[in-house]
Amino acid sequence: MCRHAAWLGPARSLTTLISDPEHGLLRQSYAPRLQKYGTVNADGFGFGWYDGSRPVRYRRTVPVWADANLPGLAAAARSTCLIAAVRSATAGMPIEETATAPFADGPWLLSHNGRVGREAVRPLAADAESVCDSAWLAAAVFTRLRDGLPLADVLPAVVGAAAEGDPEARLNLLVTGGSHLAAVAWGDTLFTHLEEGVLVASEPLDDRPGWRAVPDRSLLLASPDGVSVTPID
Ligand code: GLN
């Protein structure tokens, strides 16, 4: 199970998610505290941020601690919306940049924490950039967003269809369009921390008070107006 995190609020640098907090994604890549599936997240990493309304991405297949350019890049990448993921590839999945989150389409960036049988997601999209289960799941979400459906409807619909095809699926998703965030808790942990904006993460990035667990099988929506959590039936 990979680990992912996002920030929505006043502009911050990507180090907010990676190296500033004691248990940021850098530490979680080799010593996650709540990970139930897999022990390290060393099969690659990816980050996304926004330059105005345009998403920018950086994906690698090396462990996050092994990229010597990363500290400088992460400190310089500042945005009101940030997303980051470290990967523990599911058995049988390729280790390649195109299989690494965040996946992108237009203004959208998406990360998946979990696994799903490909037979359950391939019918939900025409094509995907990688054979990886997460790439197919991302394609299913992007296809519907491109059709103009709202994110708050698309995520429960795709998760519901994927879980119907694979009842064992773990489908934690993190999606942003730059001005808002959405996340699904389905089979793995998810936490939020409200401050001058909102942090969303698979597990707390530090030991400050205020981290709240999002109940399993729910949808979190965050915008500058606030955060809501609703059950997914
Ligand atoms: N199944 C996805 C992959 O192989 C995500 C893995 C994960 O969450 N550990 O990359």
CATH code: domain of residue 204: 3.60.20.10
Q: Which residues line ligand 1 (CB under 6 A)?
A: 1-2, 38, 87-90, 93, 99, 112-115, 132-134
Ligand 1 centroid–CA 28 distance in Å is: 15
Q: Are the CB atoms for 114 and 1 separated by under 8 Å?
A: yes
- Residue owning tokens 């105005």: 52
pLDDT, residue 33, reads 93
Catalytic residue positions, numbered: 2
pLDDT, residue 230, reads 98
Q: What value does the mean pLDDT of the chain take?
A: 96
**66 Cβ contact list (under 8 Å, min separation 6):** none
Ligand 1 centroid–CA 196 distance in Å is: 31
pLDDT, residue 186, reads 98
Structure tokens that stand for 54 in this block:
């345009």
Instruction: Please give the number of the atom of ligand 1 that sits closest to the Cα of 114.
Output: 8
pLDDT, residue 1, reads 60
pLDDT, residue 114, reads 96
The C-alpha angle with vertex 49 and arms to 112 and 96, in degrees rounded to 5, equals 45
Q: Whose CA is nearest to atom 7 of ligand 1?
A: 1
pLDDT, residue 3, reads 96
pLDDT, residue 207, reads 97
pLDDT, residue 91, reads 94
Instruction: Please give the number of the atom of ligand 1 that sits closest to the Cα of 134.
Output: 2
Helix H segments across the chain?
A: 25-30, 70-76, 118-121, 133-146, 151-165
pLDDT, residue 126, reads 97
Ligand 1 centroid–CA 194 distance in Å is: 27
Print pLDDT tens along the chain (233 aa): 699 999 999 999 999 999 999 999 999 999 999 988 878 999 999 999 999 999 999 999 999 999 999 999 999 999 999 999 999 999 999 999 999 999 999 999 999 999 999 999 999 999 999 999 999 999 999 999 999 999 999 999 999 999 999 999 999 999 999 999 999 999 999 999 999 999 999 999 999 999 999 999 999 999 988 999 999 98
What residues are paired with 115 via a beta bridge? Answer: 170
pLDDT, residue 94, reads 96
pTM: predicted TM-score of the whole model, two decimal places:
0.96
Instruction: Please give the number of the atom of ligand 1 that sits closest to the Cα of 133.
Output: 1
DSSP assignment of 71-115: HHHHHH-EEEEEEEEE--PPTT---SGGGSSPEEETTEEEEEEEE
Number of structural domains found in the chain:
1
Instruction: Select from 25, 134, 166 the residue to mutate for testing ligand 1; criterion: most ligand atoms less than 8 Å from CB.
Output: 134
Specify the DSSP class assigned to residue 202: S
pLDDT, residue 182, reads 98
pLDDT, residue 38, reads 79
Ligand 1 centroid–CA 158 distance in Å is: 17
Q: Which domain holds residue 114?
A: 3-231
